[in-house]
Structure 1
């Protein structure tokens, strides 16, 4: 029942307002507020007690009695409610009812000063000659001092003034009450009750100094007078001297730990202390806000100029300089999510070495503003740069969920398609975006990149030029335009001559291969190789497809055979690929794992090979070392003769192993040198012969479309001839 609801704060506020109004003598306001609070929290006995007290003060005895009985029906041990019911009985001359309730109260709390005071009032009321003033609902303030005056048969002038003043105070006539009680105090300065009543009458008129003097005089004569101490605490609270109020109240609660009015006031003091602290903090924050506002006003023009300068530098491709400006602005606005996003974007545009910094900025922006779509898209962009496509996609999807027309998110989604090799699908998306935003340079660049993804370089350059017409200062666009038109065809011509230690056995060979790039990820190649070995000519025809599945993974498949096979394979199949396991750092570059495998069927042999390897780059990719382990299985059909002279054919499975190591380097942009060593089985002519080989060569690019190659090798074949070969080649792209 006491679970927190939406009405709880309202009820609590009404209770505080009602208490304050009752204590200030505004009984009608108190009754209105407490009645509303009781409707919101009907189970709250404290609210009903305050309501009963207020109704009693207005002389609405029946309603007050009903409020007290409601409390006692739920909480029979609520002594203050029972005391209130006794006072109502006294006020309505129901002395028997008062006696019954008083007996119950004394049974529960026989030493309670309030019970003793009520007992004295009941005895006085039963005396035939007693002159009854209106019985008052008394709390600890009239009994704590231990002196409860019992009306005498004849009231003195001071007593009559005291009774009249008290009645006037209860009726809310505080000026009249103060006048009457002042006279009573003058006549009987030793009457501490009159002093306290005077103080209570002066408080609503905010005559705090006089009220404090009255309470102080009462405490001088009766140091244990609880209501005098309570009055001093209230005055200190009204004057916002919270520490003094808490000190006075602490003295009272130490003597009367169950004093409900004191406990309620302690709650008010705690709230007042919190309110004062909050007000002080608000004042401090207001001063700080004014200071910041002034500083912002003074610095706004300079910051705007800096922002415009950073924007211009960004367009010019000077990302480092732009980032420096954003970092300077962040020193003054460290929690500006937009500035963090801008700084992170500039860091990301500087390359992979700054991706970690960019990610940190975007994550900080997201913490400051969890609903920032720019921060989410910034993280998605870094994920895209780092090829973490599975992380980028849900970030973009989340933005599109509540902003389905967010063009940046749609463009990034198309970029994901492009990164996955789906250039045609990305092109479709960018074309749709261009229809909506024909002058958005990011969309134009995305469309151009998609066209280049399908090797439509001329069309891509046209789109890049459209972007340049929109933003002539962009270095990024100029760099796109400057990209060369890539040839889609490649022709390789190779020829070689080999000298064997066997006389008259020189070999000649030549090949031609033609390749075509279907896209920037897929290339198909076909070729013919003609060899003359031991004065026998064989032609080998093959086709190959290479595909780059991602930035890290490539693979190939090659199929072919020789229609007039003698020493070349009748059919063969080869497959393999590479996988980049690390991008490297410092002097170490990328690390790739390689795998090549194949099957070849010769006239008398079936050969299977598998060659796992690793390739390590150094010096920013200008030097790399490749190593392979080579395993070969040869299933040969051989003819054997039995002792009786009969011949038969049987299979023999031979296993071979070896390795090869090769070093490549590019001392200049156009020259590539390589050298290598192998100790591995050779299967080039249908036989498996363990071979030691030393080889090397050079490739020189005459221009971007034409290069020449020269290589040489020496092979030492175990238990066979040695071979020395020289080959030349020409490659052209168009």
Structure 2
């Protein structure tokens, strides 16, 4: 029959308290570290007991009692564990200590009664049972214990009789229990002793013998719960409630299962149904409190989990973004080494959109722009200035500006910026190397070499320093030594396209020998001219070349020998100049002495179809036997098609101061100076249809002074130069000159140039 309304189920508390997810006690104040530890040990010990690990349970609960000796719940669990182990004296002592402090603790009294029954102290069990009966006279557990005491007094009664109320199980007329009763009593005892597997086996047999025994179904469900076989336990409780909807223990069992499975809403619904019928049910009220706390904990845990997920998502997104940026930065660095500066700059520009005030990114983007040439210098300068505005003490940004100044030949500005960095950081090797670069750009490679050598002793594997040293060595035409240094740099960074390009530079010969000869035919019965010259040049450095030559001419059946010397110097990447001095000691038609000077200035680098633009200037003075000639020829040279075609034009002005003999009206002869002015122009087109062949053609309408007279001349000429190898080339040209009021001249010229 269904149990009556009652305020307690002590044995159910002993069996279920502290299962996974359950709370034994709820402190009303802030817990100390010992109390927190004691709570944990209580949970662990209770779970161990219910899972059949009684020794582990005793160990944990002993420690918990030591930390919190006044806690009755902890001592109760210890007593139950000791009882399950058969340590009845110790278990009885634990229950008595609880009752001494809290006489109304019915669960402890039930435990003590069971100890007394187990030790055959039937009188003691009867006394304790009487005290329990006064508090809960209608509780079925009391009836069960009474039956066990009575059975203990009968000589043939089982050791642990059961008097559980059940309509399906009743004693036989002779007092012997039926098989179902025997199994029920044994199964119930096994469950209460923590031997759940044994209890499940025995109670399942009872249910099989009588499926309508609701008490056996409830006991089976209670035994299944500690083994977390919740589905089977739920089925057992559901069957009970289908037969007896008011069976409180079955409803409580369903609530427990829902609570352990973390379904607090369902657990609260079941508890609500139970408390509506049994408002004084102590277990139901305790479980409801646990459900409320668990629901709050679940809500808090869910919120914490949501916040944790959001934080992890944000952290993951941030980490992924940082990893992507790092990969992009590494990719940009690799592209920079490979000489793919536009692609590297594009990556840095993309990174700057996410970090517009990152000074380091601005410096990197500016460096990539600067490496792409003059057309990008303005962008580079803007980036470096922006980085300086963000971080005024950014030495990298200042040095970036200095590097752009160097590229734009603003050497004074570059020197000032590097000096400002060195004033703050005298040991800044990048600033020292850039200062040496400025010195090298000024045409002082030896001084730059000394600085780079000192830096190399400190940083032997710094590729920028190695390149600077190699460039300085090439500046003094020590190309073999420079290549050795470049190879050292390549060993450090074999992937750098810039370094590989340096290694691939040809070893330049320092000597140059030019052999030229020509044969000219003149009209008006003039005799042929023969001319030949030898010129030998030597490169003092990659900027300065000196040349000496001897020219022998046979004109008008007279031989003149002209000796000259010339020096060429490249002051910068935009400005060159030359000076030539010479004369003919035996001059008849060649200049007794002459001087020439001139140079070029590049006004535009250009690119593609329109290449570089250069301004040229040639000037000279020559003293002949009867004439002094001064010339000035400004011009322009424009390159096209990436330097494969160029056009040169000059405006030629000449002043001739001649001594002439004239006769006066009286017939007397006298000598006077006559100053004649001449003007003209010349145009020449050069092209390189192949890497080894250069063709040229030109036209001039200008005064000619090659043989001591100033004669207006129109000339058409052309020819070609073919490089047999990198060091040997042949030249062939022809010209026709139409001299005003004089002879015409047609000439053929052959030349050979070799370098060594």
Q: TM-score, normalised by structure 1?
A: 0.59
Counterpart mapping for 1:297-308 below 5 A: 297-308=319-330
Distance 1:444 1:715 in 2: 54
Distance 1:623 1:582 in 2: 16
What's the CA shift for 1:567? 0.8
* Residue 705 (str. 1) matches residue 727 (str. 2): yes
Counterpart mapping for 1:236-251 below 5 A: none
Match of 2:573 in 1: 551
What's the CA shift for 1:335? 1.8
> For 1:466, what is the secondary structure of its paired residue?
helix
Q: 1:590 aligns with which of 607, 612, 615?
A: 612
Q: Which moved more, 1:686-695 or 1:315-324?
A: 315-324
Distance 1:504 1:716 in 2: 14
Post-superposition CA distance 1:438-468 (Å, at most 9, x none): 1111101100110001100011111111112
Change (3 A) 1:648 1:379: same
> For 2:659, what is the secondary structure of its paired residue?
strand
Distance 2:403 2:477 in 1: 24
Q: 1:715 aligns with which of 713, 737, 743?
A: 737
| Cα RMSD for the two superposed structures | 2.0
Q: TM-score, normalised by structure 2?
A: 0.57
Match of 1:724 in 2: 746
What's the CA shift for 1:295? 4.3
Match of 1:624 in 2: 646
* Residue 399 (str. 1) matches residue 449 (str. 2): no
Match of 2:391 in 1: 369
Match of 2:673 in 1: 651
> For 1:524, what is the secondary structure of its paired residue?
strand
Post-superposition CA distance 1:359-379 (Å, at most 9, x none): 222222222222211111112
* Residue 690 (str. 1) matches residue 712 (str. 2): yes
Distance 2:467 2:696 in 1: 38
Change (3 A) 1:591 1:310: closer
Counterpart mapping for 1:440-451 below 5 A: 440-451=462-473
The 8 Å contact of residues 655 and 676 in structure 2, kept in 1 or not, is answered as yes
Bigger radius of gyration, 1 or 2?
A: 2
Q: 2:476 aligns with which of 435, 454, 477?
A: 454
Distance 2:644 2:586 in 1: 43
The 8 Å contact of residues 575 and 602 in structure 2, kept in 1 or not, is answered as yes
Match of 2:703 in 1: 681
Distance 1:292 1:515 in 2: 71
The 8 Å contact of residues 607 and 642 in structure 2, kept in 1 or not, is answered as no
> For 1:383, what is the secondary structure of its paired residue?
helix
Post-superposition CA distance 1:407-436 (Å, at most 9, x none): 111111111111111111111111111111
Distance 1:613 1:477 in 2: 38
Match of 2:554 in 1: 532
Change (3 A) 1:304 1:527: same
> For 1:699, what is the secondary structure of its paired residue?
strand
Match of 1:491 in 2: 513
Match of 1:523 in 2: 545
Q: Which has the higher contact order (CA 8 A, sep 6+)?
A: 2
Distance 1:618 1:687 in 2: 37
* Residue 633 (str. 1) matches residue 648 (str. 2): no
What's the CA shift for 1:351? 2.9
> For 2:524, what is the secondary structure of its paired residue?
coil
> For 1:487, what is the secondary structure of its paired residue?
coil
Distance 2:467 2:314 in 1: 41
Change (3 A) 1:645 1:298: closer
Structure 1 gap segments, 5+ residues each: 1-287
Change (3 A) 1:296 1:364: farther
> For 1:418, what is the secondary structure of its paired residue?
helix
Match of 1:510 in 2: 532
Counterpart mapping for 1:304-383 below 5 A: 304-383=326-405
Structure 2 gap segments, 5+ residues each: 1-309
* Residue 573 (str. 1) matches residue 595 (str. 2): yes
Distance 1:605 1:665 in 2: 38
Q: What is the count of residue pairs matched by the alignment?
A: 447
Distance 1:321 1:629 in 2: 45
Distance 2:615 2:707 in 1: 29
The 8 Å contact of residues 402 and 415 in structure 2, kept in 1 or not, is answered as yes
What's the CA shift for 1:494? 0.6
What's the CA shift for 1:289? 12
Match of 2:407 in 1: 385
What's the CA shift for 1:610? 1.3
Match of 1:432 in 2: 454
Change (3 A) 1:298 1:607: closer
Change (3 A) 1:653 1:521: same
Match of 1:476 in 2: 498
What's the CA shift for 1:323? 2.8
> For 1:694, what is the secondary structure of its paired residue?
strand
> For 2:367, what is the secondary structure of its paired residue?
helix
Distance 1:555 1:490 in 2: 19
What's the CA shift for 1:484? 0.5
Match of 1:419 in 2: 441
